[in-house]
Structure formats: structure tokens, C-alpha cells
Amino acid sequence: MVEEGKPAPEFELQSGTGETVKLSDLRGKPVVLYFYPKDNTSGCTTQACAIRDAWGDFQATGAVVLGVSPDSVSSHEGFKADYSLPFTLLADPDHTAAEAYGVWAEKSRYGRTYMGIVRSTFVIDADGVITKIMRNVKPETHADKVLAALAA
């Protein structure tokens, strides 16, 4: 079970530019790891663009921002380009990272049940320890709440 105050689960995922990103390679910097359901959907676009719009504030914290969804590398390339996103998007098509962080879960919509990402964010300190977990985040207020957690 992923908990605040515990080490963040390791992952190794491919970015939208094709490079491999490992959490352990980011030691020494805080990391904002946010899971979102799907590229180019209204909520996910709102969430990503809010981070983009506050990018200067994120850079001031020294944090590395990583967005993760089950979408493909090519989907991430397009999403990033379409909205000029300045941070890294990671492809998790087999949802191994999502499962490790407990965000791959049964969801229900329009009377239909399916498996998918629960929009969640993990703030990880420079030593790889989770300092804040935010589940079922609202896309409109996400960036401000993450910045507040980084400042705490």
C-alpha cells in the first residue's frame, strides 16, 4: 500500500520523446507524479494546461513534473505539442506504475463498470519518500494544490 512517509514505488516508463525515465534517476530533486486518465480529454487537458500556465512557479520549487497515463508514446507526443506542455509525459500502457501506486481501479460511468486511472498525484521528496498523496483531484484546482504541497 502506498502511503505518505513511505518510499515511492520505483518505475521505469517511456516518455513522449522515447527516452526511459526511472524514478531512482531523479533522486536529489522533488518529483510531482500525476496520473491522469487520457490525453486530449477535457479534464486532462484542463489539468495539464493549468500546470503549464503555472510552470514558472513549478520551476521555482525545483520539482520534476511527470504526467502518467495509459496512452501511447505517440499520443503523448501529440498532446504535448498541441498544448505546449513543458513537462514530461510518460506512457504506462500496461498500467504497471498505475497499479504500483494504487490508481488503477474499477470505475463506473453511465451505468457501465470498467478499469481505469483514478486521477491522483504523488509529491515525492528528493530522497524518494512520498510526502503528499492527492486522490480524485479536480483538474481546475490541481496545480495550485500541488504547489501548496511543494511549499509545505
Active site members: 44
Find, among 127, 126, 132, the residue nearest to 149 by Cα: 132
The number of CA neighbours under 13 Å toward the Cβ of 24 is 4
Judged on CB neighbours under 10 Å (0-12, 13-18, 19+), 33 is: buried
Amino acid at 102: G
Q: Rounded to 5 degrees, what are φ and ψ at 109?
A: -150, 135
